[in-house]
Amino acid sequence: MRFLFAAVLAFWFVLATVPGSKAEWRGGDSFSQAVPESGATSLNGTVYLLSGSSGTGFKRFFEAYNIVEDGWRPLTPIPVDRTQFSVAAGSGQIVVTGGRVAGTSEATKSSWMFSTAKSYWTQITSMPGRRYEHMTAIIGNFLYVFGGAGDDTDKIYRYNLGSGEWSIL
């Protein structure tokens, strides 16, 4: 259900913000399967869906949906097995934080960044604490991490996209 909510939210956001698009529902090119515990975000008219678990276990994938051209494009999957992570996009980057190591209950504080211009993943500085089922947002040059389960969930983590440093607010 979390995947469906995230996908619908990302789709609606892109639909509402792409120049020339109308704020109405329409059918589009279908995704191959529903994958729970995955993540979705949007950037520059493209919705990005990545990793999660399927009914038979973990499924590593990363695909981009271009809303104007109505088509999916496979991308290089994140190089780690994660579920219950959070994903946000901004400034040409897609950032994945925390989550659980797929197939375990182990929470992680690792973070990864995907460059949409160069099409590759880079591990970035880990969060100050372990988080999963949390939410993230990129505002300006900062990534914010809110709530979820794990360490310090009453605190907001902030990552400076320019300096690569975390702080606790």
In the numeric block, which tokens belong to residue 17? 């913000």
Q: How confident is the model at residue 70 (pLDDT cuts 50, 70, 90)?
A: confident
Residue 162 forms part of a structural domain: yes
Say what the pLDDT of residue 105 is: 85
Question: When comparing pLDDT for 1 and 54, which is higher?
Answer: 54
Residue 23 forms part of a structural domain: no
Residue 26 forms part of a structural domain: no
Structure confidence by residue, pLDDT tens digits, 10-69: 555 555 555 555 667 777 767 666 677 789 999 999 999 998 765 566 678 899 998 888
Beta bridge partners of 41: 48
Written as one string, the DSSP assignment of 54-120 is: ETTEEEEEEEEEETTTTEEEE-PPPSS-EES-EEEEETTEEEEE--EETTS--B---EEEEETTTTE
Mean pLDDT across 153-165: 97
Q: How confident is the model at residue 4 (pLDDT cuts 50, 70, 90)?
A: very low
Does the structure show a pLDDT above 60 at 3?
Answer: no
Say what the pLDDT of residue 158 is: 98
Structure confidence by residue, pLDDT tens digits, 80-131: 888 899 999 999 999 999 999 877 888 999 999 999 999 999 999 999 999 9
Q: How confident is the model at residue 145 (pLDDT cuts 50, 70, 90)?
A: very high
Residue 155 forms part of a structural domain: yes
Does the structure show a pLDDT above 50 at 1?
Answer: no
Is the four-CA dihedral 27, 31, 37, 41 of positive or negative sign? negative
pTM above 0.85, yes or no: no
Say what the pLDDT of residue 57 is: 67
Residue 27 forms part of a structural domain: no
Give the C-alpha separation, 158 to 167, whole Å: 5
| Residues ≥6 apart with Cβ < 8 Å to 152 | 128, 129, 168
Does the structure show a pLDDT above 60 at 159?
Answer: yes
Do 121 and 76 meet the contact criterion of CB atoms below 8 Å apart? yes
Residue 65 forms part of a structural domain: yes
Residue 40 forms part of a structural domain: yes
Taking only Cα atoms into account, the Rg of the chain, rounded to an integer number of angstroms, comes to 15
Give how many domains the chain has, as a whole number: 1
Q: What is the extent of the structural domain holding 108?
A: 2-18+34-168
CATH code assigned at 86: 2.120.10.80
